[in-house]
Chain A
């Protein structure tokens, strides 16, 4: 038997000798499992609580760091039937020949290497329960365990998507020619799941309702004063003129034909206050402010699809051709949906929609307000921060619209720079502002990984943060959620002193040497450490410059230069050792996890929610389309709208 490392806290509580305790509990556990036989161990009562307490699900779930392993828990809290199912699904982790050596028990105790660290003490009663369950599973006929299907939850049933603020602005621009971007005055939207489109973040507070009311009044008044936009000048009592306007305008504002009672209400308002009053009401109607998820819309499915296509691919309301296609039933087929999706993508409006996605995914809102310490980064200013966002926008747009392989987002050997940004990066000045320039040999930059949107935005004002850089890659490029540090943990690294100058890598070793921190920091810090030769503003550096803080005002503070190492790796991805961003870019671009993450991010943005287990078939199908196209982003967009609407392959050719 291997040497057991004791669990100090428990020993302190009981006052027993550590070694004696661990032996005793191990024996007890073994005895219990032998004497009870496998019959009486209950997964629900004994084993599941043990796994829950060890926190397995925080990594072993669809968006966890260990989502590629064979141990998987559902994203939501499972019900009793699902817990039973999980128990049976563990069969593949069992070694039938030697159940006590099964991964189920050997991994969390780190008797075999476990990226998540030691979650359960070797020799503890908890381990005993896992071993007992392993014996039980080994004793079952093979098919009973193997046939277990992962519990499938239904996708959330919320159907209403509120227009985002940019969608609102674009919609009133298209509807009424209003160019004032009124939504910029609305209370700001919050990021949820990394995007502004999330249904869960779209409540309408009294403050927002008031802002809608104010904006509607102003937009309507200005539109009537300007004339045009299909607003007639009906003489009083001219009901034909009125009715035609109300019907036509409501059909555009609501993106479907209005009902008789809607027409009646709007006509009354028209009689009371002319077209302005009717427009004011329409711009506050729920039918204007929300569009319906097509798959859940109870009526007008075709019109709902028109809205889905337009708001996703154009970030604005459907045009007349789309509404006509909805009316004619063309959007009731996958063929029709695809045809119109391709038509939309051929328009310049689609470019703005892709910019919007990239801007939210890469959090341009944070990039453009970056602040760097002026004494250390004298060239860095607001304009440079904005140029960083523009650089990223152009990289993505170039790939999307020039038939590029989107995975080059991670490994492109070129970028789009202006003079100021090139100066900050220490690169030659481009001939033309934001022209595409190849990186000089040896720059080690690659795609987004060589850009300030990543390098500077993850850094603090004065120094890099390998932890933040690692976390950014895990969460945004691998779609893996790393559990947050437990509450009350002291996250401070050892200070730099004159006697002991340390690089950030050395200071971060604190995380990696402390078992409680290591299980998570092992997953993130080694990724970020590979970028240490890029400073907090994104410029290359060979040494880490340290100013030893002095609190003695009379003393000059000392500066030390330390050598940097850039060995990095991604735990959980085989052969992922890297030295430079360019190395990592190649690894990411070729990793399924990263490729799938691009699909997932676009899915979240498009559907306004996180994916669930029920979405897996659709995601897999979209991924296949994306991969087969050579990772052409436009095909991802087309595939997503088609497959979320027509998930059954039979429907691809089917009718209504």
Chain B
């Protein structure tokens, strides 16, 4: 067995923004004798959860496999997942019933709130906690970050429910960090002890100020200030537990194109993989494109219109109700899958314990709608991925359950969070449990 590495050993990560093929040196040396935990940490290997969101819907005929079970054929949209056949479970036919509850908003607002939280759009935001936040509330408390919210494409109509996928509670968004170098600074910024002590005294004073102010406030302002201070405590916690110093990640290039979404997506995935590897968080949400998103796709050659425009017939731009539009949507949705496959690849490339990070992670990849053009909200198609022991992989299943059933089964049967309930969940989705 190799000698354990010293805490000060710096490991080079990947070359950000350049060729992404540079492999991360194996971390095996940092595991203890029985190979299940970091030498530097006494924590056992953790299970993690990632909720991955893509805006707008899909072209079902290019997306949904014709066969169910183990031997399904990879469709054009799913093709990038071919190397991960045994790591995924494609689940189709899922209902999103809360999208049809009467209430304010357009089909996009309603689907988004319902998809993330199982509750209706409030007219401003989502009507409850999203599944990632509900899970984070159960398993995130011990980590440096209770949860991480990441985003990539910023192009949207700008409303709260369109820009955010994670919700701490009713109307309480958790906005995603969309700039890789800022995410890097949060995760891997190296700080001196003097700085840490200074920052702590400042935040102590901030909390004392708030406590004093709070006495004079009415109930609703008290609650708002409570939330603010809970965020300040999260910041304090992140300072109190800096990342392990033996793990070095290079910052992303500052002068790269910050609107080159495929590049940003890969940087974000790299950072997320490293955040998991260093046990900084157990729960993440990943918003590749926005709800009713307006992403442009120059790298795919589609510059005449934006993402949402392409989902509907729009003048001269082919809409998804015609063959040309269907093909454009096929390429867009394949790109979504490609970026997801990239994250799976990163997780699979980092050894942890007796396997890789992917073996200890549960991922769910969801779209705002089923068929894009119709704003269809029943029959959603979802990709689950990972290798937690109780997760059934390697197949395509057609089901009739709700998105709440799927989430709660993941949370309780596979991740063991003991969540117990989630809006619209009524029965266990046994098909995804091994």
Q: Could you list which residues of chain A lie within 8 angstroms of chain B, going by C-beta atoms?
A: 156-160, 185, 187-188, 190-193, 198, 200-210, 213-214, 216-217, 259, 261-262, 265-266, 268-269, 272-273, 277, 280-281, 284-287, 296, 298-299, 363, 365-366, 369, 371, 373-376, 460-463, 484-488, 490-492, 495, 536, 547, 549, 551
Contacts and interface: CB of A to CB of B under 8 A. Distances in A.
A92 to B, nearest CB: 29
Nearest to A211: B182
Contact of A207 (B157, B171, B177, B224): B177
A463 B314 contact: yes
Contact of B209 (A210, A217, A265, A369): A265
Contacts of A549: 313, 316, 318, 322, 324
B212 A259 contact: yes
A365 B304 contact: no
Interface string B296-334: 100000011110010011111110011110000000000
B218 A487 contact: no
A160 B163 contact: no
B389 interface: no
Contacts of A485: 106-107
A365 B317 CA distance: 24
A55 B305 CA distance: 36
A460 B314 contact: yes
A158 B316 contact: no
In the complex, the 4 A-B pairs of residues with the closest C-beta atoms, listed nearest first: A462-B315, A463-B315, A190-B160, A209-B231
B198 A277 contact: yes
B234 A206 contact: yes
B110 A487 contact: yes
Given A280-B202, A492-B313, A299 B182 contact: no
Given A373-B315, A492-B321, 12 more contacts: A157-B220, A185-B182, A190-B159, A204-B228, A205-B174, A262-B209, A286-B206, A296-B218, A366-B158, A461-B315, A462-B315, A551-B323
Count chain B CB atoms within 10 A of each CB in A363, A365, A463 and give the residue with the most: A463
Contacts of B316: 373, 375-376, 462-463, 547, 549
A contacts with B: majority SS: loop
A371 B198 contact: no
Interface in B225-278: 225, 227-228, 231-232, 234-235, 238
A558 to B, nearest CB: 12
B232 A192 contact: no
B9 interface: no
Nearest to B222: A160
A201 B160 contact: yes
A549 B324 CA distance: 10
B213 to A, nearest CB: 5
A210 B186 contact: yes
B377 interface: yes
Contact of A374 (B177, B235, B303): B303
Interface residues of B, number: 81
A210 B189 CA distance: 13
B173 A190 contact: yes
Contacts of A490: 374
Contacts of A365: 158
Interface stretch (B41-49, B97-105, B352-360): B97-105
Contacts of B201: 268-269, 272-273, 277, 281
Contacts of B220: 156-158
Contact of A551 (B104, B173, B324): B324
B106 A286 contact: no
Contacts of B172: 203, 205
A360 B303 CA distance: 28
Given A284-B206, A551-B322, A484 B104 contact: yes
A192 B234 contact: no
A34 B419 CA distance: 55
Given A157-B218, A159-B218, A203 B177 contact: no
Nearest to B237: A206
B12 interface: no
Given A205-B173, A206-B234, A213 B218 contact: no
B155 interface: yes
B175 interface: yes
Q: Which of B99, B185, B317 has the most CB of A within 10 A?
A: B317
A485 B224 CA distance: 33
Interface string B131-150: 00000000000000110010
7 contacts: A159-B218, A160-B221, A188-B163, A190-B158, A192-B159, A204-B231, A262-B212
B82 interface: no
A121 B148 CA distance: 52
Contacts of A185: 182
B97 to A, nearest CB: 10
A484 B106 contact: yes
A299 B217 CA distance: 10
A208 B377 contact: no
Q: Which of A207, A217, A462, A549 has the most CB of B within 10 A?
A: A207
A360 B105 CA distance: 20
B173 A461 contact: no
A133 B105 CA distance: 33
Among A185, A190, A214, chain B packs the most CB atoms within 10 A around the CB of A190
Contacts of B155: 369
A202 B223 CA distance: 12
B373 interface: yes
Given A159-B221, A209-B235, A269 B202 contact: yes
B135 to A, nearest CB: 16
Given A209-B235, A217-B199, A272-B201, A286 B228 contact: yes
A361 B218 CA distance: 30
A495 B202 contact: no
B100 A373 contact: no
B217 to A, nearest CB: 7
Nearest to B114: A487
A475 to B, nearest CB: 13
A491 B198 CA distance: 57
B404 to A, nearest CB: 17
A280 B204 CA distance: 12
B212 A158 contact: no
A491 B321 CA distance: 12
B175 A187 contact: yes
A216 B232 CA distance: 13
Nearest to B219: A157
Contacts of B202: 213, 216, 269, 277, 280-281, 284
B205 interface: yes
Interface in B153-199: 154-155, 157-160, 163-164, 168, 171-175, 177, 182, 185-186, 198-199
Contact of B205 (A160, A190, A204, A281): A281
Contacts of A204: 227-228, 231
Given A190-B160, A190-B164, A492-B312, A207 B228 contact: no
Contacts of A460: 305, 309, 314-315, 317
Nearest to A186: B175
B369 to A, nearest CB: 11
A280 to B, nearest CB: 5
B210 interface: yes
B209 A209 contact: no
B124 interface: yes
B374 A371 contact: no
Interface centre among B106, B149, B205, B314, by most chain A C-beta atoms within 10 angstroms, is B205
Contacts of A188: 154, 158, 163, 175
A261 B205 CA distance: 10
A561 B110 CA distance: 38
A160 B159 contact: no
A203 B234 contact: no
Contacts of B314: 460-463
Nearest to B310: A461
B27 interface: no
